Structure 1
Amino acid sequence: MPNTISGFSKLSKSEKIEWLLNTYFTDKDKARSLVQGYWNSDDKLQKLHDEFIENTITNYYLPLGVAPNFLINETTYTIPMAIEESSVIAAASKAAKFWLDRGGFKAKVLSTEKIGQVHFIYNGAYDKLKAFFEFVKPKLIKETASITKNMERRGGGVLDIELRNKSEDLPHYFQLHATFETLDAMGANFINSCLEQFATTFKTEALQFEYFNSEEQNITIVMSILSNYVPQCLVRAEVSCKIEDLKSKDIPNPETFAQKFEQAVRIAEVEPYRAVTHNKGIMNGIDAVVLATGNDFRAVEAGVHAYAAKDGRYTSLTHCSIEDGLFKFSIEIPLALGTVGGLTRLHPLVKFSMDLLQQPTAKNLMQIVAVAGLAQNFAAVKSLTTTGIQEGHMKMHLMNILNQFEATETEKTTLVTHFKTNVVTHSAVVEALTKLRGLD
């Protein structure tokens, strides 16, 4: 078959690149120059990056920015954010500054339990399985001692194991449902190692009982894996102030603003089409901090969106209330994060981000990330219900359009000034640039 190769992973980095260039590119020199242009000039650092993943050919850069002035539980933070979308950091910074003079953000970790499961098939009587589980449960925990001893020394470990009967959802399907405390580690490798030992012990012990030896009544382990749905690893963040204190340069009528803002959030609570975009804006802030701190934003995304649909309908992650003249805006989300392990001690910019955040514990980081999501959502809903989302977003996007058309520094300066008083659209920028260049 064309464009296929055997043993690609065994090639050296330069050999991989040459195969790609020879197979897919017409201008090989230009493509090679681009790939090599993103290598780090420090060979040791580049080797570190190369070893993060498989088949590495170069680095893919994202901007790392910061959002200052976040007052969280009476401590001031400058929050690192890695993201490519324009206006996100500007919006977060603006929200942080807005609430800085109104008491700041309050955040609290509600729980930190994480989940892992051993999924298995069993065809026999449930009472026999249940009795066996109660018998073997202490041994399941005991035989993970070599894995859990260090975690237990710090106060974590296996919290519990339950036998769950899921046969009404899928015939003959059961699971060992385990809860864990992993402290400052995200804990994926720890949890998966424990689960695989649970599965081995469970199967081995079952073979010692005659009842489970027949083909009709045996236990078949399907898989052992942690869950990224962590509804018991929760953090809450909120802001609040008197309605009259909402008054500012762009909120001349705080009573009207508060009512409109609350209505916008309620719409996201009942309308899934709006809720998805509403929550996507929240994740702009959350993902950017999760990525900057070396955590797994895909796991966070999956868990958060599952939580948004936990009651059978996808809904807003944030909530707003107006009671007795008090405006309150809050978020409650599941976040399984770590400040040790993974990239947190390997990636130099992750180390930088952790230093910037004053070396937070996992609980501190949960609070910071939740606040970033809440701030992002406040800024978005505030814009939507006042000036509209495009005014600020497109002005931030202006530079991307100018760079797309390779505008000079002089052209950029001229057009940034021009669009301070004109509406930014892609066509308007192209028209203005064309006119400036005398090409119209």
Structure 2
Amino acid sequence: MKKFYQLTAEERLETLDLSEPMKAFFTRHQSEESKQLIENYISDYRLPEGVLRNLQVDGKLYQVPMVTEEPSVVAAANNGASIANKGNGFKTTQVGEAVLGGQILFEGVHQKDLADFVAEHVDEIFQRAKDAKPSMVERGDGLEAVQVEELDQNRAVVNLTVNTGKAMGANAMNTILEAVKTVFSSYEKEIVGAILSNAGHDAVVTVETSVPVSAVGGLEAAKKIESLSTFGQVSPDRAVTENKGIFNGLAAVVMASGNDYRAVEAAGHAFASRSGQYRSLSRWSLSEDAEFLNGKIEMPLNIGVLGGAIAALPMAQKNLELLGNPSVEELKSVLLATGLANNLAALKAVSGRGIQSGHMKMQARTIAVQAGATGDEIQAVADQLIYRKHIDQKTAEEILGAMKNDTQN
């Protein structure tokens, strides 16, 4: 008898004892591309994709695909980018290396003995890494450094640094680690495990912008944005929400490009805590002459433009084409610029008239759909919800019912 994971997607649906309409729904949303991507596949879960128009980064305009379910994210990104374009858009001031870290974890070892062992066997370590992924070495990538790190009296880590080139390189890193681990056969009992690290210490990217204060509503508005940004540096609770807003945009582009948004966010949150207190990833401050509002975002990014899920997802490939087939470095800058654009739009709204009115305008269409509106009814119901300033499903259902009665009469 086949195990569940060995069944076809259609056979799995049969075993789940679903109603015929449910089975038909899941079957209708299957795709050949996705069937081999994950275990126990039954169907595709679709998310909407929008476009951030004319994001200016390093003097170049990008049309940026964004995949998200939150109504206001794409609108906020376009708003923030439009404001930044009234200056000179966004500028990359630091591009991290295309490197990924990996760790072999040891417990119960003598620190000096391990360090001496690594020093004596460093050539063998590099050779095992090369043999594991020769194609990486051929294109100039591969293992770059080996370092022993003492964690406490009982634990140590052998850190590997691998240049991954155009690929994110997670699978390659783990393959190299497994190969290198064999060098440490005499430490078999002390090895707890070997796994990549998503921390990205050597992959930090910095993007900045300088916006005329007139573009955000004048000097007083700019001062409020600066003040609100400062709260993100001293209040962890405020920083959590501010970083969430940054990742609203950033992760939407990571998702659209077929990269690992979970790894990107984990690295970002760790970086935000590097001082011992969780802080916002962005900073906004007035220039000395108070003519410009300067913004900066900084965090590690380990991403790729080929391989992995990108190779298996046609939409990811087309989205990279929409972006102009960027290099890894370009894509990193676009990601951070999008996050900073969302951040600017959110700070401007929160420090000004508040964020809820803009959010609810976008949410009104979603509520209209939930109430059963279709086609032209959706915007008509949404407009009425906004006019009444009472945006909930019950009100939407009442409006839709009245519209249908008027049509029938």
Do both proteins adopt the same fold according to a TM-score greater than 0.5, normalized to the shorter chain? yes
Q: 1:18 matched to which residue of 2?
A: 14
> Given the alignment, which residue of 165, 186, 191 partners 2:168?
186
- Name the CA distance, whole Å, in 2 between partners of 1:242 and 1:398: 32
C-alpha deviations, 1:346-389, integer Å up to 9, x for none?
A: 21111110101111111111111111111111111111111211
Q: 1:286 matched to which residue of 2?
A: 250
Q: 1:226 matched to which residue of 2?
A: 196
Residue 3 of structure 2 aligns to which amino acid in structure 1? G
Other structure's SS at 2:33 match: helix
Aligned residues: CA RMSD = 2.1
Other structure's SS at 2:107 match: strand
> Given the alignment, which residue of 47, 70, 74 partners 1:62?
47
Deviation at 1:339, TM superposition (A): 0.5
Q: 1:50 matched to which residue of 2?
A: 35
Deviation at 1:119, TM superposition (A): 0.6
Deviation at 1:11, TM superposition (A): 2.4
Q: 2:115 matched to which residue of 1?
A: 130
- Name the CA distance, whole Å, in 2 between partners of 1:304 and 1:162: 23
Stretches of structure 2 lacking an aligned partner (at least 5 in a row): none
- Name the CA distance, whole Å, in 2 between partners of 1:409 and 1:285: 28
Q: 2:20 matched to which residue of 1?
A: 29
Contact 1:80–1:292 (Cα < 8 Å) also in 2? yes
Q: 1:398 matched to which residue of 2?
A: 364
State the TM-score, normalizing by the size of structure 2.
0.92
Deviation at 1:114, TM superposition (A): 2.1
Residue 215 of structure 2 aligns to which amino acid in structure 1? L
Q: 1:42 matched to which residue of 2?
A: none
Stretches of structure 1 lacking an aligned partner (at least 5 in a row): 40-45, 207-211, 213-217
Q: 2:232 matched to which residue of 1?
A: 268
Q: 1:197 matched to which residue of 2?
A: 179
Deviation at 1:413, TM superposition (A): 4.2
Q: 2:309 matched to which residue of 1?
A: 343
Q: 1:43 matched to which residue of 2?
A: none
Q: 2:103 matched to which residue of 1?
A: 117
- Name the CA distance, whole Å, in 1 between partners of 2:366 and 2:387: 19
Corresponding position: 1:84 with 2:69: yes
- Name the CA distance, whole Å, in 2 between partners of 1:132 and 1:255: 61
Q: Which moved more, 1:179-188 or 1:148-157?
A: 148-157
- Name the CA distance, whole Å, in 2 between partners of 1:419 and 1:13: 42
- Name the CA distance, whole Å, in 1 between partners of 2:379 and 2:148: 66
State the TM-score, normalizing by the size of structure 1.
0.86
Deviation at 1:286, TM superposition (A): 1.0
Q: 1:147 matched to which residue of 2?
A: 132
Deviation at 1:421, TM superposition (A): 4.2
Contact 2:285–2:294 (Cα < 8 Å) also in 1? yes
- Name the CA distance, whole Å, in 1 between partners of 2:137 and 2:390: 57
Residue 397 of structure 1 aligns to which amino acid in structure 2? Q
Other structure's SS at 1:117 match: strand
Deviation at 1:269, TM superposition (A): 1.1
Contact 2:100–2:163 (Cα < 8 Å) also in 1? yes
Q: Percent identity?
A: 32
C-alpha deviations, 1:63-82, integer Å up to 9, x for none?
A: 11111111111110010011
- Name the CA distance, whole Å, in 2 between partners of 1:431 and 1:271: 43
Number of residue-to-residue matches in the alignment? 402
Corresponding position: 1:8 with 2:31: no
